[in-house]
Every structure is written in C-alpha cells, then in structure tokens.
Structure 1
Amino acid sequence: MVARRNWAGNVHYAARRFHEPTSVDELRRLVAGSDRLRAAGTGHSFNRFGDTTGDLVSLAGLPPDVTLDRDRSTVTVPAALRYGDLATALHAQGHALANLASLPHISVAGAVATGTHGSGVRNGNLASAVAALELVTADGDLLTLDRDADGDMFAGAVVSLGALGVVTRVTLDVAPAFTLCQYVRLGLAREALDEALDSAYSVSIFTDWRTPLLREVWVKQHAELPPPPAGWLGTTAAETPRHPVAGLSPEHCTPQLGPPGPWHERLPHFRLGFIPSSGDELQSEYHVPRAAGADALAALDEVAHLIAPVLQVCELRAVAADRLWLSPNHGRDSLAIHFTWVGDAAAVTPVVAAVEERLAPFSPRPHWGKVFGLAPAAVAAAWPRYADFLALMVRLDPSGTFRTDLLDRYFPRP
C-alpha cells in the first residue's frame, strides 16, 4: 500500500492515483502512460520534491533480488530495499558498506537521490558508493548508467532528486565486513571540533545551542583500537547510554559504551527493529566547506537565541568530497550542520530563514530531503554543475513527466 503522507506527517501527497507495480515491465507501462509521475520511497523526506499531482508509485512490490558480485566487490539491489535490510544480508555474507546514515530504515534509492550521508572525514555520502544505476525514463525505456562506462553523465544522474526517471536497481561498492565500538563522550569545547571529527572512523557531535560546549560526541571506531583515553579532548565518558535528543530513552539506539559489534549495528544511531521517534519533528541540514566550519558555527551563534527554543537537537558531521553533480559534497569536504526541530512549521520557518541568512557567506548546500527556503539563485550558485544538470533533465525527461512544483522552483526549464 502506497503511503498517503510522509513519515513526519508534514506532507500529504497530492497524487491523483497510487500504484504498486510488481514487475519492471508493469512500471515501464505506467511511466510511459503518465503525464506526471513520481516514485515514493520510505517517506523520510520533509519537503515536496517527491510529491506530484499525477501518479505516485511505490517500488516495494518489485522483485527483491540482491546480487553480490564478489569479483567486482559490488552488490546490486532493488531501489526500495532499506539500508538496514541490505546491511543485514551483506554482513551474513562477510561484506559491508563503507558507511550508513543514522537511520537504517531509509530506502537505497531515496537516500542516494537526495545525497543522504553518515559521517567520517574519509567517508563520502551514501551516493558516492554507487557504481551503476538502472532507471525507467519518461518514455518507458530502461536505461543503465555505469560509473566506468558513462563517466560524466553517470555523475549527473546519481543524486538526481528523482528528476531523471524512476530508479529500479542500484549497484553499490562493498568491502569486507568490519567491527566497530561506539563510545559517548560529554562536554566538548568548540575549539576541539575538528580534532574530534578527525579522531575515528565515524564521529557525530550533538549540541543544543544553549551552552558554549558541544554536548556529546559519539565516536565509532575500529574495535582493534583503544578507546578514547580518560580526559580525551577535555571530555568525560558517559556512564549510561544516551539518545541524541536529551531526555529521551536510549532503548532504540545502537549499543554504546564500548562493546564491539558489527559495522551495521554501530554506524547507525538507531536500531532497525525499532521506530526511532514518533515523527513529530521537522529537519533541516546545510553543508558548508569543512575549512569554514568554525566560522559558520560562529555565525550561527548570533541566532542561537532563536534556534534553541524550537530545536530538539543539532548534529555536526564530516563528509568527504565527491564528484556527483548535485551532491551536497560535490568538490569539497564538508561540515554537515543538521537541525532536528520541533514539529511546528509556523515556529520553525522563520528560524530556518535566520539560519540561512547567517550561513549565506559560506555557500551552504541544503540536504535535498530536508526543509529549506533558500532562494533559487542561491541554490544555482552553490553547485558548479547546476546548468549541466538542467540540460540533463531536459535530455532525459523532455516532456516533464517527473517534474514537480518544487523542482520547477529550483530547476526551471531553460
């Protein structure tokens, strides 16, 4: 059954028809016969890029085949597969993905299309692991794009916001399975931010904009390495497990305090078998050059008094540069500044505007699946290959089948 609203409940889809095809051929006929169509993922986007007044299609009914190619170190998966389910299957065969997002509940194609990410100074976002894509284009044709064979066009098509076609299968790089430990340290000085981000395989830092100190550091490091020593960067060790949002129970979080475990049970913040929250929230995120991270945070200090009252938690993560045209990390190592707001759009919207105003000097790139209000000109200026992506949209979708109102705002037809 195709969901009628997103996970957070702030978007009720306007589609006139909902579909769940059970084969790629059925999907191809649907696409070819529609004037407006979008694919629905797990609904974890907070804006209307994925909405349509036409046909909304769930891919959950397509064949669930997962094909591991040990010679090429890749795995090919259906677009609707959740990362947590893929990770469990891969680990059972001795393989791993390089990184995971904080939620393992999101679909592969949806996360890739929006540039969703985990953390780690040497880890790219989830889309950077894509080796090939299969998609249905507006005329119902099946197109395969390969990283090695299709070069520049491939780089334009991976993070695509669903604007080029309906992705049916994704091929991802894999590596040998590995073991991590997760530690939580409390009370990090802002001056130690970069050193903390550099300290382990994956690091997430949480703050509430109420005090100068960064509240918590979640350190995910290889199990063979020693834990952070006493007094590490002036912090203290947490004595009990934590939830990213202060005051909430950590029972749904992945194990902390140091016990070793498989990569897919430590890299996400939340466990696959649990719903991490009620969804009563809004989210925004901005990627700035990592070299400008300290200055960007200092600029946000000017509006901390506005941020704090409507904030549940703010997370800071490092993401490595890539070459994907619409990736928030295209061509630059980034500091991702993520806000989980209260679920009150009227209260949050002016604060988002204030955040964007302070970040403007740092060429912020929004996470495509979150709430943002940047002017279209600012978005166009933030991505060097913006004009090339516009041309690719026209080339692969000349009739505008996959267009939405929000796409038209930020990517108007030339």
Structure 2
Amino acid sequence: MSDVIAEQRTRTNWAGNVTYRASGLARPTSVDEVQRLVATTPRLTALGSRHSFNEIADTDALQVSLADLPPVLDIDTERRVVRVAAGMVHSQVAAGLEARGWALANLASLPHISTAGAVATGTHGSGIRNPSLAQAVVGLEAVRADGSVARVDASSPDGALDAHRVALGALGVVTAVELAIVPTFRVATTVHLDLPWDAVESSFDRIMSDAYSVSMFTSFDDRGARQVWVKHRVDEPEPSVDLVALGARPATGPVHPGENDPAGVTEQGGVPGPWSERLPHFRSSFTPSTGAEIQSEYLLPAASAVAALRELRPLEELFAPLLIAAEVRTVAADTAWLAPSSGRQSVGVHFTFRRDAAAVAAAIERIEDALAPFDARPHWGKVSAASAERLHAVYPRLSDFAALARDLDPTGRFRNPFLARILT
C-alpha cells in the first residue's frame, strides 16, 4: 500500500484561504489500496483538486487524494457513456473524448478541477438546457465504509443514483464515474461590453436563452453587465438578440472576466472551436494561479433572477473594494437530491472576491440577507454563512440524504466537521 504522507509543510486549498488540518495525506495508486485504506482508517476525507473554498474537504483526520489512480477513459459508443477514473480532471477527460469524436454536454468555467470533486459538490456550467455536471452521471463506483466497492446506477433502488450524484463525500470514496456523452460539437464565443441595467432587466430571459451558454459579468456598478459572453453552438441557429441595439458594444479583443490579463481565457471573437476549448472560460493549457481570492455562489429560481439582481445592486459600495467579478449564469433543473439546481430551472449568481476573509464574511452576510426571499441555495464548494437549519430549508432532500449517510456510514468514517454540522 502507498504510504500515508504526514507532511510537515502547510497545506492549503487552491486559493489559500483554507489551511488544512489533516494529520496526513494518502495517495493510493489502485482501487485495492483505496479499499484497504478505508477499511483500516477510522476517519478519512476524499480530497479532489482543492478547488473548494470552504472546509468541505478539510478534516482533522486523514485526507485521501485519488490523483495517482491509473487514468481510465473507456467509451461505450452504443450506450453513449464514458467511464473515467475519479481523480482525472475535466481537461484530461475532455481531451480524450474530443480526440475520439465525443463530448460532454457541458463543462465548468475552469477545466482543471477533478471530475469526481466537481460532481460531488454540484458544480455546473451554463445554459438553459444544461443541468449541473452531476446530471451527466449515469453510474459510479464507491468504496463504502467497510472497504467494499458498491456500484450505483439507474437500476439501483430507492433513487440511489440521484442521492449519490451530489454526495459531498459522505457516502463513500468514489473511484470511478460513468458520464453520458454526445457527439462532438463546435462552439463560437462572442463578447459584448457594458450592457445597461435597463436592458439586463427588460431582456434578461431573451439574452440568457439566446445561445447554448450565456454568462453575464457585473460589478453591480453603473456599467450594468460589463461583459456578456455568448457561446453559440455552430450547428444551431445564430443568436437573434441584438446586444448592440440594446446598448452594449462589441469587444474589440479578448477580455478576462476579472478584467485581468486575458492570456489564459479561451478564444473569443466568434472563432469556432471544439466544445472542450470553448465551454470553459479558461484554457486547459493555462495553469491557474493559486489566486488570492474567495468564491461564493447562490442558485435561485430562474423566475426570480431579475428581482434578485435588483436587490444586490444597492450593495455596490460594499462590493467596490472587494469584488473581482460576479457572474450570472443559467442552469437547467437537476434530479440529484443535493444539486443546487435540483428540481427547478435556476440562475446562479457567483461572486469572486479578493482574499480578505473578514471583509468577505461581512459581504456574504449582506448578500444572503438580500437573497433570502428568493430561496437561494449556496453552492456546496463555496463560502457561505448559511446555518444548518437554513440549508435544510432550501435543500428539501437534505434530511433524507442525512439519513442515508447514517445508514451507509454508521460509524462516521467519512464524517468531517463540515458534514457533522450539516447532516443533523
């Protein structure tokens, strides 16, 4: 079995705002090793690509990385399914699929995140027809608390697949996922700048549904939506909303969502390219910095989006020194119990803040107060002030999930402080 590494150096998440308290890090190189490790370790927590901004992957026990498991990318063309090793990142999966003429229907904005970690936290891309990445899961394999491997798919009883799609690491260590795939497709991204607020409000639904994937970026200042990214599938009808007529202007070159150096963003300017190189906002060849930032996100019913943005605009002065960018995206309804878009067409409002923990905490309190009337659900991998009671109120199946976690893991082998707080 691979050694458990009791590292002396300080270990943090991707952004550096969480310092892990784990006693050590295990890097098994086979599923057999994962099984033995789980069976012989009193408590452990799976660690993905460290892109969560809260303590969901933190523990005072052992962390387990699956990054050293052998890469697996097996395509079943008849079922239109790909089986991938859980530790692989989306850029690896996307490149392998594209090379063989296949695609995932959607990707997150950053392609460097682990496949299993993105699924487990309800991470999503954008598009009124595109649910979260977890909805693409048609099967998975998880090492249970006793070290056995369980397969879960659509034939499993009692809605088990929907319970496992977004599982927060509470039901076992996922070692492989099966994802629905589609034939490859091409996408072209165009960007417009400074869409006025009155146009955002009057034409929001038309704009957000005008292409395969649409994102608005704002600072909640008088520029309105300072960037509108329209990602058009070239095999579908051209977008019909004239953003210039609504008051925006075309970008004359590549732009970065945070108004930084655009070298790392995927190609814009309406140049068609593979889905794998257009659906993410950032290039897979670009290594993200360990950026000094903190992220938060809330998903709310799509019908409430304009009203919610109107409630957030008075916070402009609070945001001015702190907010790098806010992104507004659509997400189709999921069936996963704990997906932030479960059961409803949704709009996500995502905040990227400068890494000032105290100031961000104060801002999040104000944001959550503003969004409370809209039944907003916090993203599981982002920073939130929501209490366990609030989470149970906005996630109707959370109590059912907590009961399932107790049944499958009665001794709390996969429990960490984050899960102990919410699985009441």
TM-score by length of 2: 0.94
Cα shift at 1:297: 1.1
Q: Does 1:238 align with 2:251?
A: yes
The one-letter amino acid paired with 2:118 is: A
The corresponding residue for 2:220 is: 209
The corresponding residue for 2:273 is: 261
The corresponding residue for 1:185 is: 192
Equivalent runs, 1:333-344 vs 2, <5 Å: 333-344=345-356
Deviations 1:222-267 (A, max 9, x none): 1244466572533221111100012x11110000011110011100
**Local SS of the residue matching 1:309:** coil
The one-letter amino acid paired with 1:115 is: G
Cα shift at 1:212: 5.5
| Native 8 Å contact 1:34 1:54 kept in 2 | no
Unmatched tracts of structure 2, length 5 or more: none
Cα shift at 1:197: 0.5
| Native 8 Å contact 2:217 2:226 kept in 1 | yes
Cα shift at 1:4: 2.4
Q: Alpha carbons of 1:277 and 1:194: their partners in 2 closer, same or farther (altered >3 Å)?
A: farther
Deviations 1:86-125 (A, max 9, x none): 0011001000000000000000000000000000001001
The corresponding residue for 1:72 is: 79
| Native 8 Å contact 1:190 1:212 kept in 2 | no
The one-letter amino acid paired with 2:339 is: S
Cα shift at 1:301: 2.0
| Native 8 Å contact 2:138 2:161 kept in 1 | no
| Native 8 Å contact 1:183 1:227 kept in 2 | no
TM-score by length of 1: 0.96
| Native 8 Å contact 1:100 1:267 kept in 2 | yes
> How many angstroms apart in 1 are the aligned matches of 2:261 and 2:24?
39
| Native 8 Å contact 1:227 1:258 kept in 2 | no
Task: Name which of structure 1's ranges 158-167 and 2-11 shifts more when overlaid on structure 2.
Answer: 2-11
The corresponding residue for 1:155 is: 162
Q: Does 1:383 align with 2:390?
A: no
Task: Name which of structure 1's ranges 193-202 and 273-282 shifts more when overlaid on structure 2.
Answer: 273-282
Unmatched tracts of structure 1, length 5 or more: none
The one-letter amino acid paired with 1:145 is: V
Q: Does 1:110 align with 2:110?
A: no
> How many angstroms apart in 2 are the aligned matches of 1:65 and 1:223?
30
Q: Alpha carbons of 1:230 and 1:23: their partners in 2 closer, same or farther (altered >3 Å)?
A: closer
**Local SS of the residue matching 1:392:** helix
**Local SS of the residue matching 1:38:** strand
The one-letter amino acid paired with 1:18 is: L
| Native 8 Å contact 2:154 2:161 kept in 1 | yes
> How many angstroms apart in 2 are the aligned matches of 1:295 and 1:280?
31
The one-letter amino acid paired with 1:200 is: A
Q: What RMSD in Å do the two structures reach over aligned CA positions?
A: 1.5
The corresponding residue for 2:207 is: 196
Q: Does 1:218 align with 2:260?
A: no
**Local SS of the residue matching 1:234:** coil
**Local SS of the residue matching 1:380:** helix
Cα shift at 1:150: 3.8
> How many angstroms apart in 2 are the aligned matches of 1:253 and 1:222?
18
Q: Does 1:368 align with 2:368?
A: no
The one-letter amino acid paired with 2:232 is: Q
| Native 8 Å contact 2:14 2:50 kept in 1 | yes
| Native 8 Å contact 2:38 2:145 kept in 1 | yes
